[in-house]
Amino acid sequence: MSREIYASLSGAVSAWTQMDVLSANVANVNTTGYKAARVLFESVGPTDHPLGESYAMPRGQTFDGRDGVLVQDGISSHLALQGNGFFALLDPIGGLVLSRDGRFGLDQLGRLTDTMGRPVMGEAGPILVPEGESIRVAEDGSVYGSASGLLDRIQVVTGNVRPIGGNLLTLDGPIVSGDARVIQGALETSNVDPLAAMVDLIQSTRYIEAFQKAMQASDSLDERLNQSGGR
């Protein structure tokens, strides 16, 4: 097998990884608070071999941090962020996770939670709302009860974050305070540009096809060389 096939294979694997991420972006065009993911690549090589191969290697993901469009819905428990930062949610399995999806509500314990029941974290722990009270949320994240006054302040955090699926992210490293504004009665839409995402997806498909043709050409040359050597 010729050595150049490995360079083509690395390109095909990288393009396939990119296509998976782009497909997820397209699938989440309408997901509240979703941030478009991007693949990080590293070029390895060239080597000291006479052919001087270089390889493309996927090295994880990052995300597009630009704000999505705000949609006002007037629901007091719905919150949106504008700027740098994420809501901190307490996941019973994975610990602290981050999200921009502000479709919150109150559970039976009076905790402010997301649609999956994960409590929204404040500076003193999960945000608790006394029974029968409505809430007002200031842009700095301060939560006020209609009768109790200041209840807590919503944690808006950031740091070295990476996507973990859907519209959730996790932190690799220390927590850093974010400076995003909290907007009550609104939701942030996905920041995926559907047209651009579809164009990128088509390009990734074309790259895979090109690398497949390169590998097929390498196989064909190997076969011809073997036939020539056998005569």
Q: Which residue has the higher pLDDT, 5 or 58?
A: 58
Predicted TM-score of the model (pTM): 0.78
Q: Which residue has the higher pLDDT, 8 or 184?
A: 184
CB atoms within 10 A of CB 133: 14
Are 79 and 183 a contacting pair, CB within 8 Å? yes
What pLDDT does residue 1 have?
A: 46
The model's pLDDT over 105-122, given as tens digits with 9 standing for 90+, comes to 999 999 999 999 999 999
Helix axes 194-229, 4-27, angle to 10 degrees: 160
Residue 225 has pLDDT above 70, yes or no: no
Q: Which pairs from 57-62 meet CB under 8 Å and 24+ separation? A: 57/10, 57/14, 58/13, 58/14, 58/17, 58/18, 60/162, 61/21, 61/37, 61/162, 61/163, 62/37, 62/38, 62/162
Report d(CA 159, CA 179) in Å as an integer.
Answer: 12
Extents of the domains making up the chain: 4-64+192-229, 70-188
- Beta-strand pair 121-122/161-165: unpaired
